[in-house]
Amino acid sequence: MSQRRYFGTDGIRGHVGQFPILPDFVLKLGWAAGRVLSGGKGGKVIIGKDTRISGYMFESALEAGLSAAGKDTLLLGPMPTPAIAYLTRTLRADAGIVISASHNPYEDNGIKFFSADGMKLPDAVELEIERVIDLPLEMVPSLQVGKATRVKDAAGRYIEFCKGTFPRGLDLKGMKLVVDCANGATYQVAPDVLSELGAKVIAIGNQPNGLNINVNCGSTHPEQLQQRVVAEGADLGIALDGDGDRLLMVDHTGKVVDGDELLYIIATHKATTEPLEGVVGTLMSNLGLERALQREGIAFTRADVGDRYVIAEMLANRWRLGGESSGHIISLDHITTGDGIIAALQVLASLVESEKTLFERRNGMEKLPQTMINVPIAERLDPSKDSGIQQALTEAEAGLGNRGRILLRASGTEPLIRVMVEGDDREEVMAVATRLAAVVSESCS
């Protein structure tokens, strides 16, 4: 496979104003995508975005590029990433484009694509788009220039879809929920979905101004939500990220319930109502999740970090449920990508049907102590090819035995080596991680 120059594991992302997150590049990207998708023969593409201020600029640039390639565009405005995946399919578009940097601050932005079936673009298509970007921009004849239309009922369509994933005959009456929308793309839809199902909803992080997305709120900063749940005497809290594809929750005591624990709750509930062959996690998933699922007779396997790799493993195994510790939870029964709102509804359905609290449901899984040390490096290093690091890793794994596990991996986005250790004993975990990090640091100096 050829080396990608622009696309990462989740589209193209970076700092606004620095290459490639510039309006001229994004215009060319729109044109190249329009040329590649459907062979450049007409058709339509939908565009959605989160709430960061630069989204207006990049929406216009993409629209211009797609129009120059002869593609019509359907503009959704601020909408969650999974809503764009869903609407790409239901509106029979050739592709969907999301303008978002997910959980990053407003200074960043990115462009990611969905294919006509609502899945991430295949590698071969992304590489072809990269190839075409380098060609001179040639417009279609004026008669074939694409048109742009704003979809006025996009939010309503997605709200009804989300509600339709909640079991018929159930509702959320009597539940008091605090929902943190991260001042992001879910601010228009998440509170309505939950209130229309009967919950009393207290919304926070629902006043976006273009600059406050993910600022001290949402799934990356749940502290405000924790305090509000306790202060309001709420049943639980729901924390979404800036583009709505991640979920964390907070129980009534104010404690955070992370993606591994939520995946355990959803999986064990599904297994009571239908056969569940297995669950896909990642290399970062807590060993406690693996042990808890095995105890319930549910198979578990790990994919590389990144939702596209989780989905690929799910498809390879023909399994329907997977996710990451960060809160990306994918249920292929309902949608083709991670969806924070739908994952929250699955957890809520399990609470209603079991007549248990989130606090009680999360207690079925015991998380192992886990620590991560990020070691800065001057240049990219593959720890698997460094003999000194590998010797230290072998010795550490032998010493830890079956009491835990170790993961060394180079960051895909930063000049870091991540040293992750987890095990039954917190002090041992910290000691092993510290020793390994020291070896990695010395090898990189």
Give, as one character, the DSSP assignment of residue 153.
T
> Which residues have a Cβ under 8 Å from the Cβ of 309 and sit 6 or more positions away?
9, 282, 303
With contact defined as beta carbons under 8 Å apart, do 258 and 251 qualify?
A: no
Please say if 384 is a catalytic residue: no
Q: What is the DSSP string of 246-273?
A: -EEEE-TTS-EE-HHHHHHHHHHHHHHH
Residue 401's region, left for phi above 0, alpha for psi from -120 to 50, else beta, is left
Provide the pairing of β-strand 236-240 with 200-204: unpaired
Distance CA 272, CA 297 (A): 12
Please tell me which residue in 54, 67, 100, 102 is annotated as part of the active site: 102
CB 249 within 8 A of CB 262: yes
Residue 307: both structure tokens together = 């939702």
Instruction: Count CA within 13 A, CB hemisphere, residue 391.
Output: 5
Cβ atoms 78, 331 nearer than 8 A = no
In Å, how far from its chain's centre is CA 379? 28
Residues assigned a catalytic role:
102
